[in-house]
Chains A and B, each alone.
Chain A
């Protein structure tokens, strides 16, 4: 339509404004997480007291032995869940683009469930650290840098879950069709980025000593 052509001239790069915007934002977020990761790395081994991530520590004041904090099996499971959620959202997008509503709704629901599960795992992990392992936010540099880094990652996951859940809701109300696929694509890019950040955090924080 002439009205449309005047309103929406084709873009100079041929690429959608919003897709360009989300990638620009993701680039910026790389620096955000780089700073958090740098802080964790710089303070590795610098805590004045335990508990520590990978070894037990005897509190000199009380004589009590405080166990190493990390539970690798739990976090590995959470990592796998997050990885699969990326896989699921790709399938959901695929379904939406091809007009296969059931596939779209099903896989998007699975993604949201995975996201909620990951958050649940983190909440459990954090609570366990504080109540059972004696590692609080201010206990030592390890606690501060760990909770800040993984806490901000978890916040990003939560925002992603909210975003995807909103699109799921719209889908269930019948408002998402192939012409709206870009909306899911953009949310999915954000979701993948959040997964990719965890791909870095998992080995650097949990697996490296």
Chain B
């Protein structure tokens, strides 16, 4: 029960609604870029830009979604202004979650011989 806290406990000044609108616009733009990258790869666009995007589409999507993730977490969820403990409570499990996804991906695709230099059958 936080009757001590009235409006909020942190004692910082709230960002104005202008910041939130800006973030919303950026999020929308990033989403458009994600879909754009997908469509470029999908339609096999030619030219340097087209082929670059088509070959790097997975990486581009990961970077764009990470940026959206960070924006929502830092600004909408207030992690940037809040006490660092909240960031710790979120970031540590998040890193572990990313680790779990990557390691499982690695362990399963290793055994399918799809991974270049790791392309050894088990127990060879």
Contact = CB atoms under 8 A, between A and B. Distances in A.
A79 B31 contact: yes
Contacts of B31: 76, 79-80, 83, 202
B6 interface: yes
Contact of A28 (B1, B27, B93): B93
Contacts of B8: 97, 181-182, 185
A72 B97 CA distance: 27
B105 to A, nearest CB: 6
A152 interface: no
Max chain B Cβ within 10 angstroms of own Cβ: one of A13, A35, A38: A38
B68 A199 contact: yes
Interface of B is mostly: helix
A94 B17 CA distance: 8
Interface size for chain A: under 10, 10 to 19, 20 to 34, or 35 or more residues?
A: 35 or more
A38 B104 CA distance: 7
Contacts of B37: 207
15 contacts: A10-B4, A13-B85, A15-B83, A17-B1, A19-B86, A20-B85, A23-B86, A30-B97, A31-B96, A31-B100, A42-B105, A179-B6, A193-B77, A199-B68, A200-B69
Given A31-B97, A42-B108, A203-B61, A14 B83 contact: yes
